[in-house]
Amino acid sequence: MTATEFNTRYSELEDLLFGFAMKLTKNRDRSKDLMQDTVMRAYKNKDRFQNGTNFKAWVTTIMRNSFINDYRKQRTRNRVEQPVEDMLHIADKAVVTERANSSIMLKELEQIVRNLADTYKVPFMMFYRGYSYLEISAHMELPIGTVKSRIFFARKQLKAAIGEKYGENFRTPV
């Protein structure tokens, strides 16, 4: 497709595309930005357009995909509302909390893990230390499904034991 042919076809659809952009963004300025982004992408890829296919569908697909990609970027972008320097006072006032209880609890949790049967404890601890299911399977010479099952049941047993020890309100990441 030549540049002249592209300009002709695009100018015929400009009003329709602006309406579609408004429907997507619901904002005049963002619609203009989306239109500009769409025309740039379409023009850059005009050689990919196959004659005999629907130009309007091709351009609106580019617009829709541009909108979706931009929406995803905006949604996942970290937004800093205050400079980090404004938060430094929080670090200065950090309170050292009592560590004795957490130390005792950690030892009790280690004991709960030690009380697991070896068939569950070994694959669970290997997984906890970062081994993949495949590595555990090879090391223990077990099918991967058995390894996954044993880790699942180890978690289940640990959760039950922790619930008994600390009460049902204790939240476990296990």
Max CA separation in the chain (angstroms)? 77
The pLDDT, as a whole number, for residue 174 is: 46
pTM reported for the whole predicted model: 0.45
What is residue 51's predicted lDDT score, i.e. its pLDDT? Answer: 85
Q: Give the pLDDT of residue 84.
A: 57
Q: What is the pLDDT of residue 153?
A: 93
Which stretches of the chain drop beneath a pLDDT of 70? 77-103, 168-174
Query: What's residue 46's pLDDT?
Result: 87
HEC string of 35-104 equals: HHHHHHHHHHCHHHCCCCCCHHHHHHHHHHHHHHHHHHHHHHCCCCCCCHHHHHHHHHCCCCCCCHHHHH
Q: Which pLDDT score is estimated for 62?
A: 92
pLDDT for 64: 93
**Model confidence pLDDT, tens digit, residues 38-56:** 999 999 988 888 888 898 9
What pLDDT score was predicted for residue 108? 82
Q: Which of 103, 106, 116, 130 is nearest to 160 (CA)?
A: 116
Which pLDDT score, from 0 to 100, does residue 57 have? 92
- If 0-12 CB within 10 Å is exposed, 13-18 middle and 19+ buried, where does residue 31 land? buried
Instruction: Name the token pair of 160.
Output: 């039950």
How many Cα atoms occupy the beta-carbon half-sphere of 128 within 13 Å?
15
pLDDT of residue 40: 92
Tell me the domains of the chain and their CATH numbers: 3-76 (1.10.1740.10), 100-166 (1.10.10.10)
pLDDT number for residue 81: 59
Encoded tokens for 74: 């905006």
What integer pLDDT is reported at residue 150 of this predicted model? 92
